[in-house]
Amino acid sequence: MPKDERINFLLSPIPNSQSPIPNISMTEKQTWSQRFESALHPAIASFNASISFDIELIEYDLTGSQAHAQMLAQTGIISPAEGEELVAGLEQIRQEYRQGQFQPGIDAEDVHFAVERRLTEIVGDVGKKLHTARSRNDQVGTDTRLYLREQIQQIKQLLREFQGVLLDIAQQNVETLIPGYTHLQRAQPLSLAHHLLAYFQMAQRDWERLGDVARRVNISPLGCGALAGTTFPIDRHYTAKLLHFDDIYANSLDGVSDRDFAVEFLCAASLIMVHLSRLSEEIILWSSEEFRFVTLKDSCATGSSIMPQKKNPDVPELVRGKTGRVFGHLQAMLVIMKGLPLAYNKDLQEDKEGLFDSVKTVQACLEAMTILLREGLEFRTHRLNEAVTEDFSNATDVADYLAARGVPFREAYNLVGKVVKTSIAAGKLLKDLTLEEWQQLHPAFQEDIYTAISPKTVVAARNSYGGTGFEQVNKAILAARIQISE
């Protein structure tokens, strides 16, 4: 492409920009600076640009820039009047953006340039002073942290709502029984509440983990400059305070190149997805004809385009499926970081899309799962109670019955193994054996064996701390209520 065509590209209006605000003359942008002789190749300009996705940061960029301008005035680097003009101009951009009037195109390269350019249009030459004692490197780091800090609060709130609905269902189902599994083989019956409270606990750890991550997100890199600090007498504590950061980075190189906080967030997000995905998998199994433990309500299920009888669990399937992209973003972030020499490298521009997508994915999945649990799912309690009577999941309790009456547990275990085998051959369940049959097996068996092995007794009896016994479950529900109200 001939040189002047390239310049024309940069001069021409942005193809897909709807902005009613006219673009300023691009003559300043023909070349990067006086150091350059020709403009960027248009394809490279678009390859280089991040505006299509970092526009997501605009409100944080404006807030960060307002704090920076206030600090410049406070420290006498610019005059108080200039500081006020900058702050007001930035506020005007915020309003324009919110009203859909400010939609910068790729000629702006990134959100930081877009804002500075528009600011200069609004306030004139003083706009060119905003970037004093600052680099886009500490600026973008500040924006990303402000963004993530807010998103983490929203995710924590969504986790609380998810926990709340788990708790409501648990409370209504303390005495609803459900088969418990190990190796996906019937193991011991459980209180349905106990089963759901396991997910409550996972969400509790997720909530706490996000709080931990938030502490390291909330440290200000602003004032680290490009990499080495600045020659101006800035006050980093002042901007940190205005932006409600808890602390500031101690080392300027680390400040501009650290993305540990993003990796940590992606780890926490991945674990949330692991938990949601496991619950999804169970709901998918439970809603199958093979289990029939839950019915999906029409508001949260979909049909098939060809098989009229189908009702599909699309919501939990999508949550399970979306888990993969969050894991992928974590992996990508780790790989982006591993070979980077200090300090800022353009590779770091690649931190954003995966981060934004993970935030949105986790938020959407938490919302969808909360709705599904609250109004899209009906536990078939009759069928569940029936399910726990049709298997040998009370076999441990027969062994425990003998062990409590002095028979060594291993001996009792072997004895019950034998009964299970003969019962299966005879097409019977343990509850179908006559007292004589029990006593032939061992004289310690009495009439009370029948209540001892009824599913309700079996569940109630597991009253050890943290177990499925109803007393334990009721206590766990109380403790959980307190936990989420704090």
- Would you say 167 or 348 has its CB closer to ligand ARG? 348
Question: CB-based burial of residue 395 (10 Å sphere; 0-12 exposed, 13-18 middle, 19+ buried)?
Answer: buried
Q: Of 12, 79, 288, 304, which one is the catalytic site residue?
A: 304
Task: Give the range of 194-202, 247-255, 341-349, 410-418 binding ligand ARG by CB under 6 A.
Answer: 341-349
Binding mask 402-421 for ligand ARG (x = CB under 6 A): --------------------
Q: How far is CA 472 from CA 198, 411, 462, 485, in A?
A: 13, 30, 8, 20
Q: What is the dihedral of CA 477, 480, 481, 485, to 10 degrees?
A: 180
The encoded tokens of residue 17 equal: 């920009």
The distance of closest approach from Cβ of residue 221 to ligand ARG in the complex, given in angstroms and rounded to an integer, is 12
Among the listed residues 60, 265, 344, 438, the single contact to ligand ARG using CB under 6 A: 344
The distance of closest approach from Cβ of residue 267 to ligand ARG in the complex, given in angstroms and rounded to an integer, is 22
The distance of closest approach from Cβ of residue 54 to ligand ARG in the complex, given in angstroms and rounded to an integer, is 6
- Would you say 226 or 420 has its CB closer to ligand ARG? 226
d(CA 64, CA 67): 5
Cis before 193? omega within 30:
no
Per CB under 6 A, 349 contacts ligand ARG: yes
The distance of closest approach from Cβ of residue 139 to ligand ARG in the complex, given in angstroms and rounded to an integer, is 7
User: Going along 43-163, which residue ranges are E strands?
Assistant: none
d(CA 443, CA 211): 58
Q: Of 183, 305, 382, 485, which one is the catalytic site residue?
A: 183
Q: Residue 183 catalytic? A: yes
Binding mask 73-112 for ligand ARG (x = CB under 6 A): -------------------------------------x--
Binding mask 130-169 for ligand ARG (x = CB under 6 A): ------xx--x-----------------------------
Helix (H, G, I), strand (E, B) or coil at 403: helix
The distance of closest approach from Cβ of residue 3 to ligand ARG in the complex, given in angstroms and rounded to an integer, is 24
Sign of the four-CA dihedral 91, 94, 95, 101: positive
Among the listed residues 170, 348, 395, 402, the single contact to ligand ARG using CB under 6 A: 348
Among the listed residues 23, 50, 277, 396, the single contact to ligand ARG using CB under 6 A: 50
Q: Measuring CA to CA, which residue among 242, 318, 334 is closest to residue 280?
A: 318
CA 291 to chain centre: 30
The continuous run of DSSP H or E covering 381 comes out as helix 381-387
The encoded tokens of residue 252 equal: 């300027």
Task: Give the range of 96-104, 312-320, 345-353, 474-482 binding ligand ARG by CB under 6 A.
Answer: 345-353
d(CA 66, CA 415): 77
Per CB under 6 A, 230 contacts ligand ARG: no
The distance of closest approach from Cβ of residue 347 to ligand ARG in the complex, given in angstroms and rounded to an integer, is 9
With contacts defined by CB under 6 A, how many residues of the chain interact with ligand ARG? 10
C-alpha count within 13 angstroms, C-beta hemisphere, residue 73:
16
C-alpha count within 13 angstroms, C-beta hemisphere, residue 242:
19
User: Which residues contribute to the site for ligand ARG (CB under 6 A)?
Assistant: 50, 54, 110, 136-137, 140, 344, 346, 348-349
Query: Which residues form the catalytic set?
Result: 183, 304
